[in-house]
Amino acid sequence: MNHPKRSVRSRLATATAIGAAAIMALTSCGGSGGQEAAQQEFTGEYTGPPVELSYWNGFTGGDGPFMKKMVKEFNAEHENITVKSNTMQWADFYQRLPAAVTAGEGPDVGVMHLDQLATNAARNVIVPVDDLAESLELTADDFSEEVWNAGVYKDARYGIPLDVHSLAMYYNTEHFKKAGIKEAPTDAESFEAALKKLEAAGYETPFWMPAKWPSHLMNLSLLWQNGGDPYNGDEAKATFDSEAGVKALEWQRSMVEKGYSPGDVAIDSQYVAFKNGKTSITWDGIWQINDLKASGLPFEAAPVPTIGSEDAVWANSHNFFLPRQASPDADKTNAAKVFIAWMSENSDEWAGAGMIPARESVRTSGVLDGTFQQPIAERIDTMRFLPAIPGIGAVQAETLEVAVGNAVLGKEEPKNALTEAAKKASTLMEENEAQFGN
């Protein structure tokens, strides 16, 4: 999966800053009527004249062919709706969308990451879809409560979840067999025991701890496992420097200090090393499943071990959204809702992309049986999502990611690194409150 990560993380932060100027214009034109038109009563079907919908997405990686197939099938089943996909890199997507909507040249429908919904909702780039959820009778009962609630900003729903995608633990089955490890580790004790056995079997550094992506996602997972929360949106305060956060980062650094990982793991190298059979275990997103399958590596996937006291792991979700329209077209709006409804109901196809369908009714249909993501999907209730706070992505890129990197590299003590980063993050969150008009 081509994710907004690694080398494009800085581009995303830049895109957020550049996009802010364009988004500001949207705040002042909130009374354009676009939102009201988008919220007209939805009957569940489209019987109007033929329409062509522009659909924006960022599925440029291994997940792309699966999305193209789904769009093709939708078009074949709907004579009066033609969906045209505009696929681009996620970093470009988030930079282009606000400006396009401001200029009246935005898409008719799109999909974005869950942690981007609040920012775009706050600036009127996207509009609520409560009526769509109600007409489809979608509730938290057919989703995990965490992912369903995460799509709400200021008491309005802005996204319909397509999937969930979390971190997972990948392990080399040949290495495990040689080391005499019969089961995937599930907690701190069994995880370190596995590392020691792998060392004894000749794998000197079996678990590389990255300084950058996805190290901050590992840190968030461990923080939640220790009972903490990274942010308090009500008070515009970063809380990732709590005891839970410090313990999480200390554990990450300990992987280097105990010799399980080299001291300076460059971005992407931990994944490449695992894919090439040089390391035994890695934590990465489930979007890597298809890439690992294609590599021929003997591997299995399992949930991230519970290093702390609670089962928890970082996750994100792709959500369908409706952009604000300067000149609303009722036919296109209803046709776009039909498209979203169909994609949600047929998300079993999306499992082929290595994702976990968000709807429980789809997940339990047998579509995940025998897949690598099946054991991860069984733990969907342990997945945690960032709170709906506008601008949170850029805040993380400038603060938490930097602190985690410095501590993993040994440049700063974990507590000091997180304390300074949290102060800066809280300041940025306060500035965002003023900027985003909260």
Same domain, 261 and 298: yes
- For residue 12, the enclosing domain spans 6-162+317-367
Number of neighbours of residue 21 by Cβ within 10 angstroms: 11
Residue 204 DSSP class: S
Q: Which amino acid is at 64?
A: G
CA angle 189, 380, 85 (to 5 degrees): 130
User: Within a domain: residue 305?
Assistant: yes
In a domain, 191, yes or no: yes
323 shares its domain with 300 = no
303 and 259 belong to one structural domain? yes
Q: Does residue 143 lie in a domain region?
A: yes
Residue type, 108: D
Q: Confirm if 75 and 345 have CB atoms less than 8 A apart.
A: no
Residue found under tokens 């949930």: 303
- What was the pLDDT predicted at 41? 64
Transcribe 224-285 into DSSP letters: HHTT--SEEGGGTEE-TTSHHHHHHHHHHHHHHHTTSS-S---TTHHHHHHHTTS-SEEEEE
| Residue 357, CA distances (Å) to 75, 288, 344, 348 in order | 21, 16, 9, 6
Burial (CB < 10 A; 0-12, 13-18, 19+), residue 256, is buried
CA dist 3 and 217 (Å) reads 13
Asked if the structure places residue 86 within a domain, the reply is yes
d(C-alpha 333, C-alpha 40), whole Å: 9
Q: 381 in a domain, yes or no?
A: no
Question: Residue 374 domain-assigned?
Answer: no
Residue in 373, 410, 411 with CA at minimum distance from that of residue 290: 373
Residue 27's SS3 state is helix
**Residue 12: per-residue pLDDT:** 42
Number of compact structural domains in the chain? 2
Q: Is 195 exposed, middle or buried (0-12, 13-18, 19+ CB in 10 A)?
A: buried
| CATH number for the domain harbouring residue 115 | 3.40.190.10
Indicate if 131 and 230 belong to the same structural domain: no
Task: Please list, residue by residue across 366-379, b when 16 or more beta carbons sit within 10 angstroms of its beta carbon and e when fewer do.
Answer: ebbeebbbebbbeb
Residue 4: its pLDDT value, please?
A: 42
- Same domain membership, residue 89 and residue 42: yes
Is 298 in the same domain as 197?
yes
How is residue 134 written in tokens? 């109600």
Q: How many CB atoms lie within 10 A of CB 134?
A: 12
The β-bridge relationship of strands 237-238 and 281-285 is unpaired
In a domain, 78, yes or no: yes
| Same domain assignment for residues 143 and 17 | yes
In this prediction, residue 437 carries a pLDDT of 66
- Same domain (yes/no): 260, 239: yes
Residue 99 resides in a domain: yes
Are 121 and 237 contained in the same domain?
no
Residue 354 burial by Cβ neighbours in a 10 Å radius (0-12, 13-18, 19+): buried
The SS3 of residue 44 is coil
Residues 103, 394 contacting (CB under 8 angstroms) = no
Residues 61 and 89 in one domain: yes
Q: Tokens at residue 309, please?
A: 């006291």
The residues, ordered by sequence, that sit 6+ positions from 402 with a Cβ below 8 Å of its Cβ are 421
* pTM attached to this predicted model: 0.90
Q: Are residues 309 and 323 in the same domain?
A: no
Cα separation values, 19 from 26, 190, 435, Å: 11, 46, 12
Task: Identify the residue whose tokens are 């800066």.
Answer: 424
**pLDDT truncated to tens, each residue of the chain (438 aa)?**
444 444 334 334 444 444 444 444 444 444 333 444 444 566 678 999 999 999 999 999 999 999 999 999 999 999 999 999 999 999 999 999 999 999 999 999 999 999 999 999 999 999 999 999 998 889 999 998 999 999 999 999 999 999 999 999 999 999 999 999 999 999 999 999 999 999 999 999 999 999 999 999 999 999 999 999 999 988 899 999 999 999 999 999 999 999 999 999 998 899 999 999 999 999 999 999 999 999 999 999 999 999 999 999 999 999 999 999 999 999 999 999 999 999 999 999 999 999 999 999 999 999 999 999 999 999 999 999 999 999 999 999 999 999 999 999 999 999 999 999 999 999 999 999 888 865
The set of residues, in sequence order, having a beta carbon less than 8 Å from that of 400 and lying 6+ positions away, is 216, 219, 220, 230, 238, 240, 418, 421, 425
Two structure tokens written together for 138: 């979608």
Q: Which of left, alpha, beta for 227 (phi over 0: left; psi -120 to 50: alpha)?
A: left
Cβ burial, residue 79 (10 Å; 0-12/13-18/19+): exposed
Q: What pLDDT does 233 receive?
A: 86
CB 133 within 8 A of CB 403: no
173 and 60 in a common domain:
no
102 close to 110: Cβ distance less than 8 angstroms:
no
- pLDDT at res. 136: 86
Query: Which of 85, 120, 118 lies closest to 15, judged by CA?
Result: 120
Query: How many angstroms separate the first and last alpha carbons of the chain?
Result: 34
